[in-house]
Amino acid sequence: MRAPCRGGRGGAPMRSFAVAAALLLVPASAAAAERSITVASTTSTEQSGLFDHLLPRFTARTGIAVRVVAVGTGQALDIGRRGDADVVLVHDRPAEEAFVNEGHGVARVALMANDFVLVGPATDPARVAGTADAAAAVRAIAGARATFVSRGDRSGTHAAELRTWGEAGIDIAGAKGAWYKEIGQGMGPALNVAAALGAYVLADRGTWLSFRNRSGLRILVQGDARLRNPYGVILVNPARHPHVRAAEAQAFIDWLVSPEGQAAIGAYTVEGERLLFPDAQAPPRAGAPSAAMRLAGAE
């Protein structure tokens, strides 16, 4: 039996009011918690400012809040494997497809694309400026033992860099020396180190355009079709992780690939230059309203 209320005149009404207020708050906070998702994504989407542009629009449309964990693509996929995110949004297609094939994700959905560029000092000691052949460029950098900064963080950019060394016929694990600097950090820090050292670095164009500490760096190599940088978005498999907020996560994916979401991606610019280009192949669930639209209509 509950003990009687004590505390003088007015104590019981005040306590009853406090209890009632607490009971009113519980469902509201629980509802708020249910209307949120966690997205594990790359540092490039966060450091380029893209999420600051997109997420307020999505939340205004659906009422779903989005928490972003920005790490390298490899780490983002690991977070998804553990079930510590509802969605992964990354840019290493072979790794994304493996993630889905292993049963960690439901499906890879094409979202957007930009490209990688090889940035380096204006003095260009390896003499690579103007070439559109990224493999030939890194071969020249290795031959000149010119300083090169590698993210070394299992990110999508790091994976693209390793593929480029392979396409150049160079086993970088065996060929690297003091000239090759692995920092184990994101794109912003890698660009800062390259600026400080007057070094070459492979960067995604979006982060490069948003980067302000350029010092003597400039784009030296661009336009190689092999440097195309596609991004995919994946729902973490709720059959493997039942706590995944599948409805809200699917709403986020549906909105991103909808005409509204794709237009928002295409509209994002820095100093008048587009950072990313819409790349969704088709509207989700053709012939049916998306999860985002259904949730918005239920508000």
Asked whether residue 129 falls in the same domain as residue 256, the answer is no
**Tens-place pLDDT, residues 35-75:** 899 999 998 888 889 999 999 999 999 999 999 999 999 99
Has residue 122 got a pLDDT over 70?
A: yes
Q: Which of 171, 206, 227 is the last residue of a domain?
A: 227
Has residue 7 got a pLDDT over 70?
A: no
16 assigned to some structural domain: no
**How high is the pLDDT of residue 34?**
56
Per-residue pLDDT band at 272 (split at 50, 70, 90): confident
182 assigned to some structural domain: yes
Asked whether residue 158 falls in the same domain as residue 178, the answer is yes
Has residue 23 got a pLDDT over 60?
A: no
Has residue 1 got a pLDDT over 70?
A: no
Asked whether residue 109 falls in the same domain as residue 235, the answer is yes
Distances (CA, A) of 267 to 171, 202, 256, 264: 40, 25, 13, 5
Highest-scoring range by mean pLDDT, 6-10, 192-196, 268-272 = 192-196
Asked whether residue 288 falls in the same domain as residue 196, the answer is no
Q: Tell me what the pLDDT averaged over the chain comes to.
A: 85
Asked whether residue 128 falls in the same domain as residue 221, the answer is yes
Tell me what the mean pLDDT of segment 24-35 comes to: 48
| Domain of residue 242, CATH code | 3.40.190.10
Q: Quote the domain boundaries for residue 179.
A: 115-227
166 assigned to some structural domain: yes
19 assigned to some structural domain: no
Asked whether residue 124 falls in the same domain as residue 207, the answer is yes
Q: Which of 227, 259, 280 is the last residue of a domain?
A: 227
Q: Which of 227, 246, 275 is the last residue of a domain?
A: 227
User: What percent of the chain shows pLDDT beyond 70?
Assistant: 82
Has residue 33 got a pLDDT over 60?
A: no
**How high is the pLDDT of residue 30?**
45
Asked whether residue 43 falls in the same domain as residue 90, the answer is yes
Has residue 292 got a pLDDT over 50?
A: no
Asked whether residue 43 falls in the same domain as residue 170, the answer is no
Asked whether residue 109 falls in the same domain as residue 119, the answer is no
Residue 66 or residue 22, greater confidence: 66
286 assigned to some structural domain: yes
Asked whether residue 172 falls in the same domain as residue 240, the answer is no
190 assigned to some structural domain: yes
**How high is the pLDDT of residue 206?**
86
**How high is the pLDDT of residue 46?**
87
Locus of tokens 């969704």: 280
Of 27-41, 70-84, 130-144, the one with minimum mean pLDDT is 27-41
20 assigned to some structural domain: no
Spatial CA neighbour of 189 closest among 63, 71, 100: 71
Asked whether residue 170 falls in the same domain as residue 237, the answer is no
Has residue 155 got a pLDDT over 60?
A: yes
9 assigned to some structural domain: no
Asked whether residue 222 falls in the same domain as residue 269, the answer is no
**How high is the pLDDT of residue 298?**
35
The total number of structural domains that make up the chain: 2
**How high is the pLDDT of residue 12?**
41
SS (H, E, C) the chain: CCCCCCCCCCHHHHHHHHHHHHHHHHHHHHHHHHCEEEEEEEHHHHHCCHHHHHHHHHHHHHCCEEEEEEECHHHHHHHHHHCCCCEEEECCHHHHHHHHHCCCEEEEEEEEEEEEEEEEECCCCCCCCCCCCHHHHHHHHHHHCCCEEECCCCCHHHHHHHHHHHHCCCCHHHHCCCCEEECCCCHHHHHHHHHHHCCEEEEEHHHHHHCCCCCCEEEEECCCHHHEEEEEEEEECCCCCCCCCHHHHHHHHHHHHCHHHHHHHHHCEECCEECCEECCCCCCCCCCCCHHHHHHHCC
